[in-house]
Chains A and B, each alone.
Chain A
Amino acid sequence: DQQVKQNSPSLSVQEGRISILNCDYTNSMFDYFLWYKKYPAEGPTFLISISSIKDKNEDGRFTVFLNKSAKHLSLHIVPSQPGDSAVYFCAASEGGNQFYFGTGTSLTVIP
């Protein structure tokens, strides 16, 4: 049973435009959410996180939005750069214990 879902396997965006990656979850007890970026032949790299007491967290070009009522979070990348091309995973946890990951969205930023 997939508790965290990324329904878009891939996304293509022009350089300079906004990339929006989406993630849905089913467990209302999740209280911490993270986004990871993964390049081929490397492990995932932590990108940005948000706790359930917030609805937005920004770090440079990356912003994560959390909508608890809809059990939905999204990652916005503005402006998108070719180096952002990677697979992005969202993950959720209850109390920082076991993390549940989505299946990933492959982002391609076209120069």
Chain B
Amino acid sequence: KAGVTQTPRYLIKTRGQQVTLSCSPISGHRSVSWYQQTPGQGLQFLFEYFSETQRNKGNFPGRFSGRQFSNSRSEMNVSTLELGDSALYLCASSQNSYEQYFGPGTRLTVT
């Protein structure tokens, strides 16, 4: 089975811009979760989607949003980028919610 894929792998944006990241889960996995990883903060949960519905949401501002399509692929959008949004954004897919399989991440740099 192909693993979780994320595109793009690297991205450089300017403050105030918006960005969309994409995640394709493992075939058959219906749950997709997004995390932000910054140095010293570990992985911070953003949100989880299951069957096109947001099932859980972390403590991030409304500038962070996501969606899931009928084929389970998911996108994450960040609007009005700030310097502090520079991070590694990880997507994880799951079949049973307990064991999550992570993609390689998208490294976002905001200048």
A65 within 8 Å of B (CB atoms): no
Which residues of A approach B to under 8 Å, CB–CB?
2, 4, 6, 32, 34, 36, 41-46, 49, 89, 91, 93, 96-104
Asked if A101 and B98 sit within 8 Å, CB to CB, the answer is: no
Across the two chains, which residue of chain B brings its CB closest to A5? B42
The interface residues of chain A lying within 8 Å CB-to-CB of B56 are 97-98
User: Which one of B40, B42, B55, B103 has the greatest number of beta carbons of chain A within 10 Å?
Assistant: B42
User: For the side of the interface on B, what is the size category?
Assistant: 20 to 34
Report which of B43, B45, B48 forms a contact with A44, defined as CB distance below 8 A: B43
Interface residue from B96, B99, B103 paired with A43 (Cβ < 8 Å): B103
Contacts A43-B105, A46-B101; is A96 near B43 (CB within 8 Å)? no
Please, which residues of chain B bring their CB within 8 A of the CB of A97? 48, 55-56, 97
Q: Which of A46, A101, A104 contacts B99 (CB 8 A)?
A: A46
Listed in ascending order, the chain B residues whose CB lies under 8 Å from chain A are: 4, 33, 35, 40-45, 48, 55-56, 58, 90, 92, 96-105
Closest residue on chain A to residue B38 by CB atoms: A103
- 12 chain-A/chain-B pairs, Cβ below 8 angstroms: A36-B102, A44-B43, A44-B90, A45-B102, A89-B43, A96-B96, A96-B98, A97-B97, A98-B48, A99-B33, A99-B100, A103-B41
Count chain B CB atoms within 10 A of each CB in A6, A46, A99, A104 and give the residue with the most: A99
How many angstroms from the CA of A89 to the CA of B103 in the assembled complex? 15
Interface residue from B42, B58, B96, B102 paired with A103 (Cβ < 8 Å): B42
Residue of A nearest to B43 (CB): A101
* Least distance between A104 CB and chain B CB atoms (Å): 6
Inter-chain CA distance A91–B21, complex, in Å, is: 24
**Across the interface, which residues of A come within 8 angstroms of B97, CB to CB?**
96-97
Q: Which residue of B lies closest to A42 (CB)?
A: B104
Closest beta carbon of chain B to A83's beta carbon, Å = 19
Assembled-state Cα–Cα distance A93/B98 (Å):
8
